[in-house]
């Protein structure tokens, strides 16, 4: 709830903004240029902008509903109280599925990018072996606890920020407008490929699990948290747009077909950029950036899955209990990655569909019921009345319909 603490005594919004941006931007960004290759730059940018708006609104809705509850209340508390036990079970299942399939996606991605890195060092290692080794290392940090993960994540985040500015400064310098706007194309039907982009854009704006922590961090000051969500998601949007410009402005549209046929894994995109740029330093920066992007996303997602399982199963926080939870966290995603090592792109798509429940529909329903139960706002309320609620629910329906049509193979696919 809103407190009487002076806003000037609260932490700077810079830290909350960095938390949101760091949570959003990760390995998922590598799927965007591949799935957007059909719709290409203009339509994909428009879809990305619309997705950003809807995902920002859904986060602000969850913030508004949360302010009516004590600090620390999360999705489980709010959903059970406002929407009932049945919806809470559905919402919990969607959270578990999203975190689990993203863990699988990052195991798959880590194996591919590490194989690429070792190959550049003349050290041949299979993607399965690399993914297994890296997963065991991540599992060790997760078993050690949040403090260990936080320290390692801070190192990864710092490296990711430094390499990001160095890399994209170089990539943008090589952008060719003829490629970016596809002026030499023989095909003009771009929009028909845009529908399947929506679930991937949705999956690329996941940050809702951090809102409860930010409310506690800023002692219930809704205005500060709202500014963090706005600036953090806006920064992520800008990074995505720069990434799309840097890739689509350097890789011809037709080349993405071969990348998609390799499962859309990160190493395929890194190879394509490296071969076209013919710049050793940029190729190294791209490899380093992709490695740290995967690692930071991997740590964040697996820690979230570990915490959710620990709370769900009520396991103790001692070494034995943490070991059991760690095994449950990794055993199923790791087994799937060893059997199907090239499922990064497909996994991100499934995550987008499942995330529709807990990151889009649930926040809209929560704020709807909260306004009925608590007519008086707790210091901050999202403006616009019910219009943002309807817009977000419409976006959710659109995403579900598109995802189901895609799984039924009823949507045109360019990169096949």
DSSP 70: -
Who's near 150: CB < 8 A, 6+ residues apart?
none
pLDDT at position 298: 82
Q: Quick check: 192 pLDDT over 50?
A: yes
Asked if residue 416 is part of any domain, the answer here is: no
Q: What is the CATH number of the domain that holds 231?
A: 1.20.1740.10
pLDDT at position 303: 78
Which of 26-40, 203-217, 255-269 shows the lowest mean pLDDT across its residues? 255-269
Q: What is the pLDDT of residues 340-396, one digit of tens each?
A: 877 776 777 788 788 899 899 999 999 999 999 998 877 899 999 999 999 999 999
Number of domains in the chain: 1
Asked if residue 8 is part of any domain, the answer here is: no
Burial 290-306 (b: 16+ CB within 10 A, else e): bbbbbbbbbbbbbbbbb
Q: Model's pTM, two decimal places?
A: 0.83
Asked if residue 242 is part of any domain, the answer here is: yes
Asked if residue 3 is part of any domain, the answer here is: no
What percentage of the chain exceeds 90 in pLDDT? 31
Helix axes 127-144, 85-120, angle to 10 degrees: 130
| Structural domain of 293 | 13-183+190-408
Q: Quick check: 4 pLDDT over 50?
A: no
Cα 299 from Cα 321, distance rounded (Å) = 19
Give the model's confidence band at 2: pLDDT under 50 very low, under 70 low, under 90 confident, else very high: very low
Asked if residue 295 is part of any domain, the answer here is: yes
Asked if residue 231 is part of any domain, the answer here is: yes
Asked if residue 167 is part of any domain, the answer here is: yes
Q: What is the pLDDT of residues 64-89, one digit of tens each?
A: 999 999 876 778 889 999 999 999 99
Cα–Cα distances in Å, from 64 out to 13, 215, 353, 378, 379? 18, 10, 24, 8, 9
Cα–Cα distances in Å, from 173 out to 34, 62, 69, 137, 271? 21, 40, 49, 37, 19
Q: What is the pLDDT of residues 281-323, one digit of tens each?
A: 777 777 788 788 778 778 878 877 887 788 777 788 788 888 9
Asked if residue 330 is part of any domain, the answer here is: yes
Residue 58 CB neighbours (<10 A):
30
């Amino acid at each position: 709830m809103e407190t009487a603490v002076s806003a000037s005594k609260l932490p700077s919004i810079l830290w909350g903004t960095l938390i949101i941006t760091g949570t959003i931007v990760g390995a998922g960004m590598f799927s965007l240029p591949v799935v957007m290759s059909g719709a290409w730059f203009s339509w994909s940018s428009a879809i990305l902008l619309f997705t950003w708006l809807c995902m920002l609104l859904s986060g602000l809705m969850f913030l508004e509903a949360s302010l009516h509850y004590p600090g620390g209340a999360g999705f489980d508390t709010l959903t059970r109280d406002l929407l009932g036990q049945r919806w809470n079970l559905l919402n919990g299942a969607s959270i578990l599925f999203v975190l689990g399939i993203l863990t699988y996606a990052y195991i798959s991605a880590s194996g591919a990018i590490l194989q690429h890195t070792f190959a550049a060092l003349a050290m041949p290692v299979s993607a399965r072996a690399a993914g297994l080794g890296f997963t065991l290392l991540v599992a060790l940090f997760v078993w050690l606890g949040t403090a260990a993960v936080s320290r390692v994540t801070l190192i990864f985040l710092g490296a990711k920020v430094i390499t990001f500015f160095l890399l994209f400064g170089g990539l943008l310098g090589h952008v060719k407008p003829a490629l970016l706007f596809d002026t030499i194309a023989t095909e003009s039907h771009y929009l028909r490929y845009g529908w399947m982009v929506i679930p991937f854009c949705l999956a690329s704006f996941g940050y809702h699990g951090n809102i409860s922590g930010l409310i506690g961090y800023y002692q219930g000051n809704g205005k500060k948290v709202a500014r963090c969500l706005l600036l953090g998601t806006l920064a992520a949007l800008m990074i995505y747009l720069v990434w799309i410009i840097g890739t689509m402005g350097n890789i011809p549209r037709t080349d993405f077909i071969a990348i998609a046929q390799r499962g859309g894994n990160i190493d395929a995109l890194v190879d394509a950029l490296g071969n076209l740029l013919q710049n050793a330093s940029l190729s190294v920066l791209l490899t380093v950036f992709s490695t740290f992007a995967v690692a930071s996303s991997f740590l964040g997602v697996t820690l979230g899955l570990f915490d959710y399982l620990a709370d769900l199963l009520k396991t103790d926080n001692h070494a034995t209990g943490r070991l059991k939870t760690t095994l449950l966290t990794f055993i199923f995603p790791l087994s799937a990655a060893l059997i199907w090592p090239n499922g990064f792109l497909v996994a991100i798509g499934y995550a987008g569909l499942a995330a529709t429940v807990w990151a889009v529909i649930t926040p809209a329903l929560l704020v709807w019921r909260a306004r009925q139960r608590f007519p008086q706002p707790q210091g901050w309320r999202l403006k616009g009345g019910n219009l943002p609620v309807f817009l977000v629910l419409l976006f959710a329906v659109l995403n579900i319909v598109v995802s189901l049509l895609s799984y039924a193979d009823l949507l045109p696919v360019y990169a096949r």
